[in-house]
Structure 1
Amino acid sequence: MRKLSLVIAVLFIVSCNELQQVVNQLPQSTTIGNEEIANGLKAALDRGITKQVSKLTQTDGFYKNDLVKILLPEELQKVDKTLRDIGLTSLADEGLKVLNRAAEDAVSEATPIFVGAIKDMTFNDAKTILLGDDKAATTFLSNKTTTTLYQKFNPVIKSSFTKVGADKVWSSLINRYNAIPLTKNVNPDLTDYVTTEALDGVFTMIAVEEKEIRTKISSRNTELLRKVFALQD
């Protein structure tokens, strides 16, 4: 009987046709075809999006999640410290919170873009993902969607700044800082910064779910996921 570990080694060097021949030689109980492999990977990605990305859209989805919480860019860290030093801690706290609120507001735009990328996944994509590292599926999504997501997120973040009051908070915060004697005026591009940080947060949470499915058999909650990911165990 061929051990699955031997199959994994072979998969790295065979073509799709050869892969199918190897799969066909497995015992009947472990036989799995191209379509099932691709569908299993799609199911895993769907789960990651549903379970993890949806959390980011909730209030405090970013702000109270240490994995993805958006901190201040380097050029604003001195603003934050200076305002706290002169007793404006609450204003500094609010400035940080509204950046995260804008990200939470925008993330819902990601789901349909991810769904499109998953739908277009080929068997070759699935094979590469299955045999890759703990972030192979996340990397696939990142490569396929980052440009589109940025273009979609950026105007939403800009709109969200107004919606959650971030524009007013940061206008007040920066004006206060710039009025302090002996400080150098700042005027950062917060829309670009928060857009990039929000994207990083999305992929971070997908990676969390992907690693769990790959490393914890108990996380494979469907027969299809158990069959597919058994090939990489």
Structure 2
Amino acid sequence: MMKKNVLIAVLLALLISQTSFAQDSTATTGRPQKSSGGGLFGKILNAVSQPSAGTSGSLTSIDIASGLKEALQVGISKGSDQASTLDGYFKNPLLKIAFPPEAQKVASTLRQLGLNKQVDQFELSLNRAAEDAAKKAKPVFIKAITSMSIQDAVGILRGQTDAATQYLRRTSGQQLVTEFTPIIDSTLKKNNATKYYSDLVNTYNKVPFVQKVNPNLTEYATGKAVDGLFVLVAQEEKKIRENPAARVTDLLKKVFSKQ
């Protein structure tokens, strides 16, 4: 009899949770959201492992979504500001953009020929272009955040330490590339990086018996600039998840303490 009562209680909790989730989703987006999936066992686990709406200290789906959006805004603001400052890329070993991999032999050979200054100037120009482009990242990220569904938010909260960052990469990565490309191309030209590169490659290509190189400089620098930005955002997200002091609002403290 007791087992039967427990089963009934579990199923009721599941029903309440699903109803509450649907109501929260409709209130937030104006339309019902799809289930987060995971099969029947996953749904039952979710229903019995979290307090029902209205219980003291409980989190609603709207709380979770709002908390995650605040967390992302915190990480994006810090990450973007850090990347776009002078030397934000150039003096950060995790972000610094070096010669394209297929042109590493170019840099090595030219240094052997005594062209250290030219090689260093070229690398500095690459990083200045990335720092310039990073200033345009916030609006792209914010657009991705505002379109986040409750289902996305719940999945992020229960995900890996960089789940939110991966969500942003999926939803805004390509747009960042699109936004960054003309800025980086313009900055590379303004800083003479394109000219430096052309001169360096032409000098290298004159060396006997070397394999000629001519990679797309703008495409390479754009890809590395976007990757670096996500490195910083991931670091900030990890801090918010693991360090209570980094949860700068009451809602962040409430949401992430419930993981």
Shorter-chain TM-score category?
0.7 to 0.9
Superposed displacement of residue 23, structure 1: 3.4
8 Å CA contact 2:177–2:223 kept in 1: the answer is: yes
8 Å CA contact 1:23–1:33 kept in 2: the answer is: no
Superposed displacement of residue 72, structure 1: 1.8
Does 1:116 find its partner at 2:143?
A: yes
Report the counterpart of residue 224 of structure 2 in structure 1.
197
Amino acid in structure 2 at the alignment position of 1:45: L
Pairing of 1:15-30 with structure 2 (within 5 A)? 22-24=50-52, 28=56, 30=57
Could you give the per-residue CA deviations for residues 135-167 of structure 1, whole angstroms, max 9, x where no partner exists? Answer: 100010001011211122122211111122211
Pairing of 1:75-114 with structure 2 (within 5 A)? 75-114=102-141
Amino acid in structure 1 at the alignment position of 2:155: T
**Which residue, out of 144, 150, 154, partners 2:177?**
150
RMSD: 2.2
Report the counterpart of residue 27 of structure 2 in structure 1.
none
Report the counterpart of residue 136 of structure 1 in structure 2.
163
Shift in alpha-carbon separation, 1:130–1:145, aligned structure 2, 3 A: same
What TM-score do you get using the length of structure 2 for normalisation? Answer: 0.79
SS at structure 2 position matched to 1:45: helix
- Say which one has the larger Rg: 2
> How many angstroms apart in 1 are the aligned matches of 2:48 and 2:87?
46
Amino acid in structure 2 at the alignment position of 1:209: E
What TM-score do you get using the length of structure 1 for normalisation? Answer: 0.87
Does 1:170 find its partner at 2:197?
A: yes
- What stretches of structure 2 of length at least 5 have no aligned partner? 1-16, 18-35
Could you give the per-residue CA deviations for residues 66-85 of structure 1, whole angstroms, max 9, x where no partner exists? Answer: 11111222221101001111
Shift in alpha-carbon separation, 1:97–1:19, aligned structure 2, 3 A: farther
Report the counterpart of residue 225 of structure 1 in structure 2.
252
Amino acid in structure 2 at the alignment position of 1:175: N
8 Å CA contact 2:176–2:226 kept in 1: the answer is: yes
Pairing of 1:22-41 with structure 2 (within 5 A)? 22-24=50-52, 28=56, 30-41=57-68
Amino acid in structure 2 at the alignment position of 1:171: S
Provide the aligned length of Structure 1 versus Structure 2.
220
Superposed displacement of residue 26, structure 1: 7.8
Report the counterpart of residue 212 of structure 1 in structure 2.
239
SS at structure 2 position matched to 1:23: coil
Percent identity over the alignment is 41
> How many angstroms apart in 1 are the aligned matches of 2:53 and 2:226?
42
- Higher mean Cα deviation, 188-197 or 159-168? 159-168
Superposed displacement of residue 19, structure 1: 5.3
